[in-house]
Structure 1
Amino acid sequence: MPQISRFSLRYNRSCSATIVALASVLVWGSASAQTASTDASTWTLGGGVSVIKKGYRDIDRDVLPLPLISYESKWISASVPTLDVKLNSNENLSMRLRARYAGDGYDTDDSPFLAGMDDRKGSIWIGGAVIWRPQFANLSAEVLHDVSGYSKGVRAKLQVNRRFAFGTFGVTPRLGVEWVDSKYVDYYYGVKTSEVRAGRGFYQGNSTANIEAGVRLDYSIARRHTVFFDVRSSRFGSAIKDSPLVDQSSETGVSLGYIYRF
């Protein structure tokens, strides 16, 4: 019976981590669909595998299945785990209402060091986003608020990417910065007085900014069939690196998969 319980907890945490991986990979799937006419509706289906290493102390890497699905139309852009409602959209500029699930946090059995901590849960974030596509790159910005009531925090992100095409092969580097407020840092990386243990002191978070970088390689094996490899890293700001729960300066992820566009 204990073995079943441990499996259940592990499975739930893996599901949350899968959502995080999808957020990274499916940005590209949606962006690709957006290059079509704004009046067209397109679907993308696929799958793959992702390896994620969070920054928490003594936490293991997760090797996870990666189901991929997205939908794009004149008014809707949807991909697990993001839903956008387009308020105003054309080939160069798109203003949106955005809802997203983010699998941040941990279960206490994820690491021996986290024993005695309360679970930190993933949240639904709602806010606004802008995507601008000048000729030289794709630029995006978003501001989101945690409406699940766990951290009650705010996060804001700026990102730039550009795809360089070489026949059927493509390379898409990206660079971004994400600011998170003190409520976010305190919830996911803070230590409450009731959680203090030997070697784990009280910690109250402050706002900080994380630097994110990644690159995606894609290859079109046929007209509607594409395989991709994606690697990313998020370097933590000082308020997260200073947390006693963290023993790394960054979080990393690698994904490999296949997608089919209808």
Structure 2
Amino acid sequence: MKCLVFFLIVVLLSTTVFADGTRGDVRERIEPKGFLYGLGLGINQEIYSGYDYRVIPLPIIGYRGDNFRVLGPFVSYDAFSFSEFELALQVAPRFQGFDESDSFIFENMQERKFSMDAGLGLSYEKKDWKVGLSSMFDVLGRSNGYEAKANISRVFRKGPLFFEPSLSVSYLDSDHVDYYYGVKANETNEFTSKYLGKSALNTTFSLSLATPIFLGGFTRIVVDYTWYDSAITNSPLVEDESNMSVRFLFSKFF
């Protein structure tokens, strides 16, 4: 049902996205170019039992150019472009994982570690719309899994405020799901049972609010709400079917 809703929304919005026009002026304004610095903070509500939330500090030293972008550990390079299409090489951290100290539910379990993903992203931008496809692989060999994602968004401007709602669907393969949500036979405890993770399809709605009016820099707040596939929520480690995360970013140009 979630996939059908997403497909219908994409079809509806695409009639506007692929209308005549060029890259929108509003998107250009919220993505200026140059060297930048700042800080960020992420707060993720966790779906694991007994693990309330994860706090992620995000120091920012970066650069945004025509083809190359670095924002802390996030890196993107536009390797090929044609008209409004861009094919990019991407590297991004994966802030997942746990150890025994995080919750009672992880007792007797091996640590699941933070990792880094790398892969390709294909995007199309026109009239402040953006449609993206990406495929990212675990390059540190933690889960040996991958994620494929489809996303559609649009930027709106109201005075000095920029709003960007977006909708995405992400496919996680069985290796990824089993690593972060599976339970091996020798890892069970009184609260869990053996569980083999299978591939999953999650849906996320995001809303970004950005403005340049504070302290001579650029402030962005992003709220994500994700609905998880039953392949994840059926895990004995999981107690919630959805979660919310918030990211705060403040950056200035040198």
Normalised-by-shorter TM-score class: 0.7 to 0.9
**Would the aligned equivalents of 1:34 and 1:72 in 2 still touch at CA under 8 Å?**
no
TM-score, reference length from structure 1: 0.79
- CA–CA separation in structure 2 for the residues paired with 1:187 and 1:141: 24
Distance 1:184 1:111, change over 3 A: same
2:120 is the counterpart of 1:137: no
- 1:178-216, Cα deviation, whole Å (9 max, x unpaired): 100011111110000001122301000110111111111
Distance 1:201 1:147, change over 3 A: same
Secondary structure of the residue aligned to 2:165 is strand
- CA–CA separation in structure 2 for the residues paired with 1:65 and 1:234: 21
* Corresponding residue of 1:245: 237
- 1:1-51, Cα deviation, whole Å (9 max, x unpaired): xxxxxxxxxxxxxxxxxxxxxxxxxxxxxx768855xxxx51232224332
Distance 1:70 1:138, change over 3 A: farther
2:81 is the counterpart of 1:89: yes
Per the TM alignment, residue 253 of structure 1 is displaced from its structure 2 partner at its CA by 1.2
Distance 1:43 1:190, change over 3 A: same
Unaligned runs of 5+ in 1: 1-30
* Corresponding residue of 1:106: 98
After TM superposition, what 4+ stretches of structure 1 lie above 4 angstroms from structure 2? 31-36
Distance 1:113 1:59, change over 3 A: same
Out of 170, 173, 185, the residue aligned to residue 178 of structure 1 is: 170
Distance 1:192 1:176, change over 3 A: same
Distance 1:147 1:220, change over 3 A: closer
Out of 50, 57, 70, the residue aligned to residue 65 of structure 1 is: 57
* Corresponding residue of 2:20: none
- CA–CA separation in structure 1 for the residues paired with 2:99 and 2:28: 35
Out of 66, 72, 83, the residue aligned to residue 80 of structure 1 is: 72
TM-score, reference length from structure 2: 0.81
Q: Structure 1 counterpart of 2:141, which letter? A: G
Unaligned runs of 5+ in 2: 1-26
Alignment of structure 1 residues 1-262 onto 2, 5 Å? 42-89=34-81, 92-135=84-127, 137-221=129-213, 225-262=217-254
- Residue identity (%): 28
Aligned length: 228
- CA–CA separation in structure 1 for the residues paired with 2:248 and 2:115: 26
Distance 1:147 1:226, change over 3 A: closer
- CA–CA separation in structure 2 for the residues paired with 1:65 and 1:143: 25
Distance 1:203 1:61, change over 3 A: same
Q: Structure 1 counterpart of 2:158, which letter? A: F
- CA–CA separation in structure 1 for the residues paired with 2:142 and 2:217: 40
- CA–CA separation in structure 2 for the residues paired with 1:250 and 1:201: 22
Distance 1:90 1:44, change over 3 A: farther
Per the TM alignment, residue 61 of structure 1 is displaced from its structure 2 partner at its CA by 2.1
Per the TM alignment, residue 69 of structure 1 is displaced from its structure 2 partner at its CA by 3.4
Secondary structure of the residue aligned to 1:221 is coil
Secondary structure of the residue aligned to 2:50 is coil
Per the TM alignment, residue 116 of structure 1 is displaced from its structure 2 partner at its CA by 0.7
* Corresponding residue of 1:5: none
Distance 1:224 1:185, change over 3 A: same
